[in-house]
Each structure stands twice: as C-alpha cells, then as structure tokens.
Amino acid sequence: MTAYVICFSLLAHSSTVDGAPSPISAFDWSIAETVLSLEPESTSLGNVTAFNTWTGGEYADDNVIDIGTQTFPNMELLSHLSPKRILLSPSQTRLGQRLNGIAPITILQSYPYVSHRSDGLWATLDAFTLEVGAAVDQRADAEQLVSDTRSHLETLKSNIGPQPPLLIVQLVTEQYVRVYGSNSMFQGVLQQLGLSNAWTEKTNQWGYSLISIRELYNVEKARLVVIESAFPVGIENSIETSGMWQYLSSVQRGDFILLPSSFWIAGTLPSAQRFADSLVRALLSPHSE
C-alpha cells in the first residue's frame, strides 16, 4: 500500500547470510504474510521494520531478509540473493519491469485488494491463498490454511451469543478515523462469524472510509471496536477523555472494545484468524459486558 509505505516505512538495514536458501521475494505485505504462513525456507521482503510494526511483531522471529523499501528495493542485494521467485500484486507491474532478469516473476491475479472485484472478499482471500501456494510450491499447505481458517472461524462463531452491530475503527488523528466496511478483511471476518457491521457506507479498495469522528455520532446502537494504531502510537488510549470521542454512544455506555494491532489491515487469512481470535476473546471477556 503506497500511502503507508511513504508515511510509515523506515529505510531498511539490509543483511543476508551467505549460503542461505534462495528466498521468495515479496514487495507487498498482503502477499508477504501469506508466503510466511506457508513456511517457505526463507523470504525476502521490503520494509521489514514497518511490516513488523503494522503486524504487531507477529513475524519478527521468522527468517526474513530485508531488501530495502517496497518501491525502491536494494537491487544489488536482491541480485546477490538470487531469489527463486518474485511475487507481485497487479499494481506492481512497473516494479516488475525493473526486476525483470533477477528472478522469475509471478503477478498474482487473484490479489484481493483491488478497485473492482467480481467475487466476495472471502472467496478472493481463499483463491489468493491457493494461488500463492501454487507459486511457491506449497499448494497443499495453502489448501490446509484455507481449510483450517474456515474451521477455526466456525468454532469461534459457535461460541458467540447475539451481538449488536460493530463499528470497527482505527484512529488517524484525534479527529479522523478509518472506519472499515465492505471490501475489508474485517468485514469478511464479521460475516464468517455471523456478526454485522454498522458501517454500510462506500469504502475504498482497502475496505475503509476516512471520515471525521463527527460522522459516527449518528451510529447510536453500534458497539465501537477500536484497533490500535501503529502510527501514531497510543493515540486511542485517550478516547475516554477526548471531547469528541465522549459524544459517541458506545463510549458513553462504556462498552467499547480496544484491540491490539496484531493483524495487517489489508491482511489475508493469517491476519483474519488473528483478528477473529482477538475480537471474540474481547466479546467473551467479562469486562466487555
């Protein structure tokens, strides 16, 4: 996601280990977390520091080689690594032209976060997982991931009682939020869990609307779910004392939920599982009643 790369990425400190297996290289975090979940021998990734920040350090201990930024990778290091395959999203075709000749390139056509998608997001996430699996010779593992995710969410669903509509947000500033709806991973998880999303307005290709907090005032019956922001850190901790947030019905009732950010907001099945676990754990907590 280019906007996040520009705002939040840190210059990478590139390193590698001689004799390590040829990695799979990815320049998109949705692709990267899928590859990492299939446990290839090694992975090289752009913006590892920022990636770990936005995924709550979930992959910090994995065998990941930092190859610079997503838009301007370290070409010398990448050539030295000689990756066995480079995986790109459809929007990275121009980057693929620069990388041509370093390694075989696969453009993942089932990439889920596009402006015009014919299938529902969840079906696309499944298809994307299988396509990544085929590209890295881990098709069976990808099929298992799809099956395990479906089974896991069905189990979680069976443990949840009736819930009000949920309003899933992430603060950008004290006045503006991303609110997640259709096209988002969060919406896909809610649907799999049999929960409803209070936000029904139009969203972008990443599944969110960027709005003023004031636009949430009329969503009275919804329960607020606040996802921690990777940047600016800790901004959500003051919502109970913030003048603007105090007017939200969920905050006034004291029934809002704060979730740690251990999932990429444009994530795939691994992030979906972590979000589902975190959400259901909060819904079932005695303190959330």
Whole-number Å distance between alpha carbons of 54 and 49 = 9
Concatenated DSSP letters of 143-184: HHHHHHHHHHHHHHHHT------EEEEEESSSSEEEEE-TTS
Tens of pLDDT, residue by residue over 121-146, are 999 999 999 999 999 999 999 999 99
- Give the CA distances from residue 33 to residues 58, 63, 121, in Å, rounded to whole numbers and listed in that order: 10, 12, 17
218 vs 71: CA distance, rounded Å: 40
DSSP assignments along 72-119, one per residue: SB-HHHHHHH--SEEEE-GGGHHHHHHHTTTS-EEE-TT-S--SS-SS
The pLDDT score that the predictor gives to residue 207 is: 94
CA atoms within 13 A on the CB side of 103: 23
**Nearest to 14, CA basis, from 59, 50, 42, 45:** 45
Question: Which of 64, 29, 81, 71 has the alpha carbon at shortest distance from 50?
Answer: 29
Average confidence (pLDDT) over 101-110: 95
**Up-side HSE of residue 288: CA atoms within 13 Å toward CB?**
17
pLDDT of residue 21: 62
How confident is the model over 189-215, as a mean pLDDT? 95
pTM: 0.88
**Higher pLDDT residue, 6 or 211?**
211
CA 176, CA 205: separation in Å to the nearest integer?
A: 19
pLDDT for 76? 93
Can you tell me the distance from the alpha carbon of 276 to that of 147, in angstroms, rounded to the nearest whole number? 15
> pLDDT digit string (tens) for 36-94?
999 877 899 988 988 998 888 888 888 899 998 888 899 999 999 999 999 999 999 99
**Structure confidence by residue, pLDDT tens digits, 229-267:** 876 777 777 777 777 888 888 988 889 999 988 899 999
Q: Which residues pair with 197 in a beta bridge?
A: 166
From the CB of residue 162, how many other CB atoms can be counted at a distance below 10 Å?
6
Which H or E element spans position 269?
helix 269-284
Q: Is the model's pLDDT at 210 over the cut of 80?
A: yes
- What DSSP state is assigned to residue 246? G
Q: What is the pLDDT of residues 171-198, one digit of tens each?
A: 888 889 999 999 999 999 999 999 999 9
Category of 272 on φ-ψ map: left (φ > 0), alpha (ψ -120 to 50) or beta = alpha
Backbone angles phi, psi at 99, to 5 degrees: -90, -5
* Per-residue confidence (pLDDT) for residue 264, from 0 to 100: 93
In the numeric block, which tokens belong to residue 143?
């099929």
Greatest distance between any 2 Cα atoms in the chain: 59
Comparing CA positions, the residue from 106, 153, 150, 130 lying closest to residue 38 is: 130
